[in-house]
Amino acid sequence: MRVEEAMHRPIGEAAEAIRAGELSPVGLTAAYLDRIAAKDGDLNAFVHVAADALDQAESLAAAAREGRILGPLHGIPLAIKDNYLTADMPTRAGTEATIEFPRTEGAAVRKLREAGAILLGKTRMHEFAWGMETPPARNPFDPDRVPGGSSGGSGVAVTAGFAMAALGSDTGGSIRIPASLCGTVGIKPTFGRIGRSGIVPHSWSLDHAGPLTRSVADAALLVDVLSGHDPDDAGSADEPPTALHPIVPSAREAGAAGLRVGVCRNHFFEALDDEVGAAVEATISRLAAGGAEVVEFRVPELAYGLGAIFAIELASSTAYHVHHLAAGRTSAYRDDVRLLVEMGRLVTASDYLQAERYRTMLAEKFLRVFAGVDVVVGPTMPITAWLSGQREVELDGRRESVLETSWRFTYPWNLLGLPAISLPCGYDRNGLPIGFQIAGAAFDEASVIRAAAVVERTVQMRWCF
């Protein structure tokens, strides 16, 4: 397999070519490094490129020649978000503040290395995983537009062909938002499915780890590698690792027949761009035409979700930053992030407890929903990528902030801790990607992957390389 071909193929195929001696990890890694050097000056996906990436590749190539294959990612070049701690690269969590992060590694990074991955470097993120823009990263589809956040650099790296996949983190949508705006696949598995030790915290009860990839099969493979109990993460579930990757080809073959697809008509379909709505409705119609049973329903209580997640997220983030606040380090934070961190001190204990009560009530509502459907689908975001510096959008005759707009459809699945994936379902008149979101019941990533594989079969994805 030629390197140029491998860069456009699924991870599993490239890994098989490496195992067979038909593809060199060294040549593949060099090609990605060359592309980063040539193109990332315009897009700013990376905050740090690993100096030893080719050394990693040489070592894995030698192991492959000796028949020692570490795992399913042997020789595959990946990138990781800048809030994943690493022993061999600095971690900044997107900040310029004088904070020293440990040179250590948690479960996700260890599992990547044990599976044979090559870590190309750290991707840019919105500071401390707040925010929806990731400056100064730029959207590969239109460099005048944002890539989303907070895992924006990971979305750019995948779409622009700087890595075969990248890790992100997701507290209110920070994997799925850049996946939607950059036209990648991005999955947030069930809370606790992937260990979070060694990831700089944002909100302990909302944070999820997961990958951004170029295909559903790649997303399934990465979740399989990363899943499993993490004894160093108090929120980790004691569940066996997933086996999602084998589901994809059979799901594509079987199609939508027998799939029960839920459509929540309130909240997820309110105040959205016309082109986004049309693309999502067309995708739902294709699922129905393929044999899926479409079940429409409403959950009016979703109207109160924004206040709940803000109370939890603000209070949790401020609790993490309390020592930095006391030491005056927050003066070096970006204005938007410093404001949010300081606002958390205004959340009372009563506010926080009421938010958690709401969370429990909403979980009970959706427990009943998922008794009757396999997945719930809808738009990932109400809009496509907005212009850098744009602060407001107008939807249904009402102006609102891009912050409020951008995570409206993603944050409910963080509150509930349920698995959710975003993948492209079309493109608007400007050629910008439109995201389709699929969520499932707790620890039922299999249904999410199955539905995503069926949707993916109907979409011709576009890449910027």
Q: Which residues contact 406 (CB under 8 A, 6 or more apart)?
A: 132, 148, 173, 177, 381, 382, 383
- Between CA 166 and CA 157 the distance in angstroms is 7
With vertex at residue 31, the alpha carbon angle to CA 59 and CA 84, rounded to the nearest 5 degrees, is 65
Three-class SS of residue 379?
A: strand
For residue 145, give the nearest of 453, 433, 455 by alpha carbon.
Answer: 433
Three-class SS of residue 445?
A: helix
Q: Which helix (H) or strand (E) holds 168?
A: strand 165-170
Beta strands in 50-117 (DSSP E): 77-81
User: How do 46-49 and 118-123 pair as beta strands?
Assistant: antiparallel
Question: Which two tokens mark 308?
Answer: 């709940």
- Between CA 152 and CA 236 the distance in angstroms is 25
- Between CA 149 and CA 180 the distance in angstroms is 10
Asked if 254 and 287 touch (Cβ cutoff 8 Å), the reply is no
Q: What is the DSSP string of 85-102?
A: --SSS---TT--S--PPP
First to last CA, the chain: 18
Alpha-carbon distances of 387 from 158, 173, 384, 410, 423, rounded to whole Å: 20, 19, 10, 21, 21
- Between CA 226 and CA 220 the distance in angstroms is 10
State the catalytic residues. 81, 150, 174
What are 98's strand-pairing partners?
none
- Between CA 222 and CA 240 the distance in angstroms is 15
Q: Which residues contact 283 (CB under 8 A, 6 or more apart)?
A: 377, 425, 426, 436, 455, 458
